[in-house]
Structure 1
Amino acid sequence: MFILSRLDSVPPESFQNQIRELVIHNVGDLSNVAITADNPLYPLYQYGVGMEVHQYLQALDGTRGLAVALTLALDAEAPDQLLGFALSLPAEDDEQACSLAFLAVRDSHRRQGIARALLGDLQARHACVELNAFANQVPWFEAMGMQVVAASGPQVLMSSTGLASGALIGRLDIAPIYQTAEVMQIHTYLLNQQGEDAMIEAEQMRDERLDELTVQAQECVRQRKTVH
């Protein structure tokens, strides 16, 4: 059993650590480049996406100029144990709209309705929930009542209304994260460990996968629009 808890301030360090752990373990699904575990760049994105989520969590203090909402799924019998979380970005100009930025559930607690409940909580509070999903994730979100809107690069834009909200949603500029000294140190370490040729190949592998996902996203949308 689990319970949902909405936070309107920066979560305690223990929950931040558990969220970071969840992100690191699920970075392939959460990263917008869908980095795979066999890619030598994987550790770099584990840090980068982890830092992105961390910065969103810090924005819950209201001092960063970003609207952020966080819902935690906790073990009902041990409420200090995180089972999953949903991090969303409420629209600045429309309280009925929001964007789901991150959704993750522990591997050990999949297929127990946790992700469904986290998304359902958002849908109950906002008339229009938007999100970006990879083509292979689209059927699950469709089963949750989300509808395909359009292709968006390697992902598919979906919403609970079937339309883009057009609302103003503030997001982090993540480019500076990948220019930090920490990321440069990770890159240097990987370069020394893997060699320059392997790193160039890793970047090519990442880019080729993005190209494949972009085609899949377009095909996914085409199929839906043809059917409907």
Structure 2
Amino acid sequence: MFTLVHLDTPPPESLKNQVLQMVVDYFSDISPVSLTPSNPLYQLYQYVIGYEVHLYLQAMDATQASSARLVLALDDEDPSQVRGFALYLPSQDDAEAATLAYLAVQASHRRNGIARAMLQRVIEQRPHVEVACAAGKAPVFEAMGFRVLAAQGPHVLLNTRAHRSNGMVAVQNLAPIFESREVRQIHAYLVQQHGKKALSEAESKRDRLLDQMAYQAEMLVKERFPTIH
């Protein structure tokens, strides 16, 4: 069993470290770009997404309505152990709206209702919730009450309501992370390990994957709204 905790300030270091480790462990599940470990760019994107989540957690501030919020599922028998997390971004100018940024559950604790319970807690705080995900994951959110609204690039947009909020959310700008010294060092290491040609091929493979995801998103939306297209 598990207990849910809702946080509007940075979590204790031990819990934060577990969340960040889950981002690393389940990167393929939660990343907007569904790279697999076989792609040489995997490590680079793994670092970028991990650092993005770190920045969200670090900037959590109860006095700022637009800063990230965190729902943790803690083990009932050992509350020091994180079994799942949901990170969401409240809207700055719509008190009911939010965007679900990341959600993950420990593989050994899935199918126990943790994801559904965490999402329900988010919805209790902000009933107008939006999420963008790969087409293959859309049915999971639909089963939890979300509605498909549209395709947006490689993702399907789903919402708890039949329309999007007009509110804005404060998302992290990833450009400075990609331009950081650490990412440049990772890229240089990957070039050294795999060679420039392999990295170029990995980038092409990533781009083809994004194109494929965009096509799948469009197809899913057409399936849901056959009379509109």
Q: TM-score, normalised by structure 1?
A: 0.96
User: Secondary structure at 2:226's aligned position in 1?
Assistant: helix
* C-alpha contact (below 8 Å) 1:72/1:82 kept by paired residues: yes
1:136 correspondence with 2:136: yes
State the identity as a percent.
Answer: 47
Task: Say if 1:60 and 1:29 are closer, same or farther in 2 by CA, change over 3 A.
Answer: same
* C-alpha contact (below 8 Å) 2:65/2:90 kept by paired residues: no
Equivalents in 2 of 1:65, 1:3: separation in Å? 24
Aligned AA (1:89): L
Residue 124 of structure 1 and its aligned partner are, at CA, apart by 2.2
Equivalents in 2 of 1:88, 1:10: separation in Å? 13
* C-alpha contact (below 8 Å) 1:66/1:171 kept by paired residues: no
How many corresponding residue pairs?
A: 228
RMSD over aligned Cα atoms: 1.6
Aligned AA (2:90): P
User: Secondary structure at 1:226's aligned position in 2?
Assistant: coil
Equivalents in 2 of 1:171, 1:44: separation in Å? 20
Q: Which residue of 2 aligns with 1:148?
A: 148
Task: Say if 1:94 and 1:63 are closer, same or farther in 2 by CA, change over 3 A.
Answer: closer
* C-alpha contact (below 8 Å) 2:72/2:82 kept by paired residues: yes
Q: Which residue of 2 aligns with 1:58?
A: 58
Equivalents in 1 of 2:102, 2:60: separation in Å? 15
Aligned AA (2:174): I
Unaligned runs of 5+ residues in structure 2 are none
Equivalents in 1 of 2:17, 2:51: separation in Å? 12
Task: Say if 1:225 and 1:110 are closer, same or farther in 2 by CA, change over 3 A.
Answer: same
1:9 correspondence with 2:4: no
Q: Which residue of 1 aligns with 2:182?
A: 182
Task: Say if 1:184 and 1:219 are closer, same or farther in 2 by CA, change over 3 A.
Answer: same
Q: Which residue of 2 aligns with 1:84?
A: 84
Q: TM-score, normalised by structure 2?
A: 0.96
User: Secondary structure at 2:104's aligned position in 1?
Assistant: strand
Residue 30 of structure 1 and its aligned partner are, at CA, apart by 1.9
Residue 156 of structure 1 and its aligned partner are, at CA, apart by 0.5
User: Secondary structure at 1:74's aligned position in 2?
Assistant: strand
Equivalents in 2 of 1:43, 1:119: separation in Å? 29
Q: Which residue of 1 aligns with 2:26?
A: 26
Equivalents in 2 of 1:203, 1:103: separation in Å? 26
Aligned AA (1:93): D
User: Secondary structure at 2:38's aligned position in 1?
Assistant: coil
1:169 correspondence with 2:191: no
Equivalents in 2 of 1:64, 1:98: separation in Å? 14
Equivalents in 1 of 2:45, 2:65: separation in Å? 25
Deviations 1:16-73 (A, max 9, x none): 1101110011112222122222111101111100000000001113698952111100
User: Secondary structure at 2:60's aligned position in 1?
Assistant: helix
Aligned AA (1:202): A
Task: Say if 1:127 and 1:61 are closer, same or farther in 2 by CA, change over 3 A.
Answer: closer
Equivalents in 2 of 1:227, 1:21: separation in Å? 44
Q: Which residue of 1 aligns with 2:74?
A: 74
* Aligned residue runs from structure 1 range 112-123, under 5 A: 112-123=112-123
